[in-house]
Homo-oligomer: A and B are copies of this chain.
C-alpha cells in the first residue's frame, strides 16, 4: 500500500552481495522496460546467472520486499537496490589519463545513465590539453585539486600509464577522494578508509589462459578442431 518509510537498514551487507546488486538492478530494469510488474526469485536468478536461494538471501539484506506466492515488485525492488547502492544521488567522476582507454571511457555513454557524471578529464601531456573529448575539455593535471574541490569529485578514475598511477592516486587521496578506480597495472598504496578497485585486463587474460591450458592438458577430446594454443 503506502510505501514504507526509508528506514535505517541493517548496514551489514556482505561484500559479495553488494557486488551482485548491480547485476540484479540491470536485469530488473530490463524487465521494467518490458512492462513486467513482478518477478520471482527463480526467474530473476536465472537471468542473472545466480542461485535463487542466494538471490533471495541477498535481497533479504535490504529488508523483506517480496510477497510469498507472488514474487518481487519490479519497480519497488529497483528503487530499493538503487537506494542501497547510493544511486539515488549523483556522483562526480574525474578521469586522469586521456589516452586510448581514457577516451573510450569518456565516450562511453553508459556512465551518465546511472548517476555518474564525468566532471573532468585531466592529462599531463600538453599535446592533448585543450582537446575536447566527449564534449569536455581536457584539463591539466595540476588543476586536479581545484577540480576535485569545485566539482565535488568523489570517485577518481586512473587511466594513466603504470608509472604515473601511484602519484595520481596520491594526489586524489590528498585532495580528499576516497574512492578510486584503477586501470593501470600496478598495486596502489592507499591509507585506510580509501577504497580502490582495479580493472586489470591483463590479469583477466592470464586467468583465462590458465584454464585454457588446463582444458588442453590431456583433455583434447573436448577440442573439436584440435586447435591448441597458436
Contacts and interface: CB of A to CB of B under 8 A. Distances in A.
B152 A227 contact: yes
- How big is chain A's contact interface, by range? 35 or more
| Copies of chain A in the complex | 2
Nearest to A134: B100
A206 B21 contact: yes
Contacts of A100: 103-104, 107-108
27 contacts: A7-B218, A15-B229, A19-B203, A21-B210, A22-B200, A23-B187, A84-B210, A85-B210, A86-B209, A87-B209, A89-B230, A101-B104, A105-B201, A110-B202, A114-B202, A151-B230, A152-B229, A152-B230, A176-B225, A181-B204, A193-B215, A193-B225, A193-B227, A193-B228, A195-B208, A195-B211, A196-B230
Interface of A: 7, 11, 15, 18-19, 21-23, 25-27, 47-49, 84-87, 89-93, 100-101, 103-105, 107-108, 110-111, 114-117, 119, 149, 151-152, 154-155, 176, 178-181, 185, 187, 189-197, 199-215, 217-218, 222-230
